[in-house]
Amino acid sequence: MKAAYSGQCLCGEISYSAAAEPVFSGNCHCKDCQRSSGSAYIPAIIFHEKDVAVSGKAKYFRLAADSGNVHERGFCPNCGSQLFARFSNMPGMLGIKAGTLDDSSKYSPMLDFHVGSAASWDFMNPELPKKQGSARS
Ligand SMILES: [Zn+2]
Ligand SMILES: [Zn+2]
């Protein structure tokens, strides 16, 4: 059976596939996501970690958010592509950054969140619900 979702980093050392549907999809506009991605926001998809098969070993960078929750960002140690995220307040879940999907059209965000931190040049789809808040997640 073909996996519903698959993707990889830029160099191909790390790849993943997920057979099940995600539990959440949304664009995070917090400052930490801007910094770590070098862009306006991170398009995040959250899966149950048990549904995701990962090949290769990502390196994780841990940072505590203002809330006290720890956010771990997983990237390829060879090419630096950001692929994964884990959250201390969401055990058993794995975030995947939608830009790494083989088929970009698989991503369909439900909302924009942490829009209070968004950059002035960040253009958002006006049709998506917006969640305020500027705290780092
Ligand atoms: Zn890589
Ligand atoms: Zn964020």
Considering every ligand atom, which ligand is closest to the CA of 10?
A: 1
What pTM did the predictor assign? Answer: 0.91
What is the distance between the alpha carbons of residues 90 and 74, in angstroms, rounded to a whole number? 16
Considering every ligand atom, which ligand is closest to the CA of 58?
A: 1
Ligand 1 centre and the CA of 38: distance in Å?
17
Ligand 2 centre and the CA of 1: distance in Å?
33
pLDDT, average across residues 3-17: 96
Beta bridge pairs of residue 26: 44, 111
What is the distance between the alpha carbons of residues 97 and 110, in angstroms, rounded to a whole number? 15
In the 8-state DSSP scheme, what is residue 110? S
Ligand 2 centre and the CA of 83: distance in Å?
14
Considering every ligand atom, which ligand is closest to the CA of 112?
A: 2
Considering every ligand atom, which ligand is closest to the CA of 39?
A: 2
User: At residue 134, does pLDDT exceed 60?
Assistant: no
Ligand 2 centre and the CA of 50: distance in Å?
23
Q: Please give the sequence-ordered ranges of beta strands (E in DSSP) within 66-124, or none if there are none.
A: 70-75, 82-87, 93-97, 111-113
Considering every ligand atom, which ligand is closest to the CA of 71?
A: 2
User: At residue 64, does pLDDT exceed 70?
Assistant: yes
Residues 71-130: tens digit of each pLDDT: 999 999 999 999 999 999 999 999 999 999 999 999 999 999 999 999 999 999 999 999
- Please give the pLDDT value at position 132: 86
Structure tokens at 87: 């959250």
What is the distance between the alpha carbons of residues 111 and 46, in angstroms, rounded to a whole number? 13
Structure tokens at 106: 């698989």
Considering every ligand atom, which ligand is closest to the CA of 14?
A: 1
Ligand 1 centre and the CA of 75: distance in Å?
8
- Please give the pLDDT value at position 65: 81
CA distances to 1, 50, 107 from 18, in Å:
11, 9, 13
Q: Write the single-letter amino acid at 62.
A: R
CATH 3.60.15.10 fits 5-9+22-115, yes or no: no
Q: Is the dihedral of CA 83, 45, 6, 119 positive or negative?
A: negative
